[in-house]
């Protein structure tokens, strides 16, 4: 069913996501801080431009947000021209930003005062997933309207799932990033070791990817790692932002994450050596220095 939707934040993720909504037949109102990107989007897809988050929200039943971090989200939502100022009872806000669970709860409370449901909905699948409409979406929020949310996001998601109350999507995303930290550092150490041992690492990976050492990262990143190619993918700067959120949340819920904390520091070394924009798999570059 075609809906009136707003999409706020046309970055490398949001731009194609909003595009998929338009191609799926929804009426899309867009807002972006820099208007140039919004103009480009309008040249490519059909929709309406708005001059503020508030105005975007006023035009829509579903408001999607995809910005950078907690502070960006707060800025988009609050203030005179913010989303909250434009909401009407019955609207649904879906936030695709990776944020803390705290800010998700904060926003959900603010929305509740307007009889509006808020869903935190961080994604995985990266830029390629956004472009190809194959994202995975981790949802936190109310069960009552989850079907309509899943129906709309199906324009760019191959899989989405409600994981619990508001904040659960963000917490799940943190689990995702914690797993990746361990996998990538382990893989990097293995390849570093293999290279130093003079092995044909691609041949070894072909064998060991058939068993208990297998991982998505191993299958999808070992070739570029072996070539030392890191100018693509999910940037180290973003990974550190996400790990910081996870480490802070762990402090709140009493978890200990020694490997995560350590790998976060190794990413700091990657940043120092010029890798702020490199893919997360660049932990190997640090070892090979």
Task: Report the residue number, 55 or 279, with the smaller CB distance to its own copies.
Answer: 279
3-state secondary structure of 55: helix
Task: Report the residue number, 11 or 182, with the smaller CB distance to its own copies.
Answer: 182
Query: According to the binding rule CB under 8 A, does residue 148 interact with its own copies?
Result: no
Burial (CB count <10 Å: 0-12, 13-18, 19+), residue 115: exposed
Query: According to the binding rule CB under 8 A, does residue 12 interact with its own copies?
Result: no
Query: According to the binding rule CB under 8 A, does residue 259 interact with its own copies?
Result: yes
Q: Rule CB under 8 A: choose which of 2, 39, 268, 274 binds its own copies.
A: 268
Q: Report the C-alpha gap between 6 and 61 in whole angstroms.
A: 8
Q: DSSP for 132-164, please give it.
A: HT-EEEEEBS-STTHHHHHHHHTTTEEEEEE-S
Query: According to the binding rule CB under 8 A, does residue 210 interact with its own copies?
Result: yes
Among the options 114, 173, 227, 251, which is catalytic? 173
Phi-psi region of 97 (alpha: psi -120 to 50; beta: other; left: phi over 0): beta
Query: According to the binding rule CB under 8 A, does residue 255 interact with its own copies?
Result: yes
Query: How many residues lie near its own copies (CB under 8 A)?
Result: 84
Task: Report the residue number, 42 or 226, with the smaller CB distance to its own copies.
Answer: 226
Query: According to the binding rule CB under 8 A, does residue 149 interact with its own copies?
Result: no
Q: Which residues pair with 139 in a beta bridge?
A: 162
Binders of its own copies among 111-130, rule CB under 8 A? 124-126, 129
Burial (CB count <10 Å: 0-12, 13-18, 19+), residue 254: exposed
**CB-facing half-sphere around the CA of 258: CA atoms within 13 A:** 0
Assigned token pair, 279: 């893919």
> C-beta of 289: minimal distance to its own copies in Å?
7
Binders of its own copies among 158-187, rule CB under 8 A? 158-159, 161, 163-164, 168, 171-172, 174-187
Catalytic residue set: 173
């Amino acid at each position: 069913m075609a809906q009136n939707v707003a999409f706020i934040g046309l970055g490398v993720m949001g731009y194609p996501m909003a595009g998929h909504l338009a191609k799926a037949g929804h009426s899309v109102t867009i807002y972006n801080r820099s208007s140039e990107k919004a103009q480009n989007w309008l040249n490519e897809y059909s929709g309406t431009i708005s001059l503020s988050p508030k105005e975007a929200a006023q035009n829509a039943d579903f408001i999607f947000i995809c910005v950078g971090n907690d502070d960006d989200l707060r800025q988009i939502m609050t203030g005179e021209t913010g989303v909250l100022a434009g909401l009407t009872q019955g609207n649904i806000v879906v936030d695709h930003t990776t944020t803390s669970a705290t800010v998700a709860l904060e926003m959900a409370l603010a929305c509740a005062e307007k009889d509006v449901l808020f869903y935190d909905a961080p994604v995985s699948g990266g830029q390629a997933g956004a472009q190809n409409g194959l994202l995975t979406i981790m949802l936190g929020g109310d069960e009552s309207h989850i079907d309509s949310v899943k129906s709309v996001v199906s324009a760019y998601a191959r899989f989405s799932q409600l994981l619990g109350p508001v904040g659960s999507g963000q917490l799940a995303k943190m689990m995702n990033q914690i797993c990746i930290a361990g996998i990538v550092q382990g893989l990097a150490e293995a390849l570093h070791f293999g290279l130093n041992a003079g092995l044909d690492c691609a041949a070894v990976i072909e064998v060991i990817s058939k068993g208990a050492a297998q991982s998505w990262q191993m299958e999808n990143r070992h070739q570029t790692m072996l070539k030392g190619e890191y100018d693509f993918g999910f940037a180290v700067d973003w990974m550190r932002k996400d790990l910081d959120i996870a480490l802070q949340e762990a402090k709140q819920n009493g978890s200990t994450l020694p490997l995560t904390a350590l790998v976060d520091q190794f990413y700091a070394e990657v940043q120092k050596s010029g890798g702020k924009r490199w893919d997360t798999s660049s932990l190997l570059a640090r070892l090979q220095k």
